[in-house]
Amino acid sequence: WRKHSMALSLLGKAGLGLSLLCALLAALWPYPFNVLWPELAKGGSGSLACPLGYNSSSNVQLPSGHVRIPGFSGESARYALFSNGTIWTARPEAQYAEALLVDTQGSILAVGSMAEVLAAVSALGRQAAVVAYDLGGAFLQPGFVDPHVHFLQAGLFLAYANLGVATSKEAFQQVAAAHVAELEAQEAAEGLPPGSLWLKGGQWDENKWGGALPDRSWLDAVTGPHRPALVSRMDSHMTP
């Protein structure tokens, strides 16, 4: 018990340290990035180019699924105006807009009614190169950024049964059975009663085998009636 308590204590300290480091980086962002990787920074403090090089003057080949806006790169245009679509702003006071004006660095210069955005275009001057895009009723939204991570959970899952590789009920049970065999060997080596150790696993995804959710019978077939088990879905929001 003392050994396990010490391990958990060290693990907790490591998690706390990583959390504090992330909080510090978030508070100072983007200055640490500009200092550590100046070749990826652009335009001084607070301004970042795309880390992969997909900026307005780049000839980098975009990966599959990414589309560069036609005519909106290099020196051919500096601004783009989007209209005639459902433009979601994510602002509570005005969730939808008629038009949107952005520059080649991805900065939103104006969003709102068509009159407001056209006024912003006029303010750019007659020499401004603006390309207008008709969305044709399409939906346009800001990019989502989800920075949260689970340090401790990710580490613990390395010691659990990885059910994420299962593509069928049979494969699910095979992975669970292999882990049960390891638990039985550990119980025998440590002189523990059979069924003392929990079967822990995760990362399963029912979409990989047609959508049927695993239930208790899937586990009872390999654990027997006395071994406790807890296996969570890939999002950790569901267990059999």
Total tally of structural domains belonging to the chain: 3
pLDDT tens-digit profile of 31-86?
Answer: 554 555 454 444 333 333 343 444 444 455 555 544 444 444 444 558 889 999 99
Residue type, 13: K
Longest dimension (CA), the chain: 84
* Domain boundaries, position 9: 2-39
Beta bridge partners of 140: 87
Residue 55 maps to a domain = no
- Same domain? 162 vs 183: yes
Residue 113: name the closest of 156, 81, 143, 79 by CA: 81
Residue 195 maps to a domain = yes
Dihedral sign for Cα 117, 119, 122, 123, please.
negative
pLDDT tens-digit profile of 1-25?
Answer: 434 434 446 666 676 777 777 666 6
- Same domain? 155 vs 90: no
What is the residue-averaged pLDDT of the chain? Answer: 78
Pairing of strands 161-162, 139-140: unpaired
Out of 85, 116, 140, pick the residue that ends a domain.
140
Are 102 and 132 contacting, i.e. CB atoms less than 8 angstroms apart?
no
**Selected residue with higher pLDDT from 148 and 214:** 214
**Selected residue with higher pLDDT from 107 and 167:** 167
- Same domain? 170 vs 220: yes
Residue 28 has a pLDDT of 61
Residue 209 has a pLDDT of 95
Residue type, 80: A
- Same domain? 163 vs 229: yes
The reported pTM is 0.44
Q: What is the CATH number of the domain that holds 89?
A: 2.30.40.10
Residue type, 200: K
> CA 229: distance to chain centroid?
28
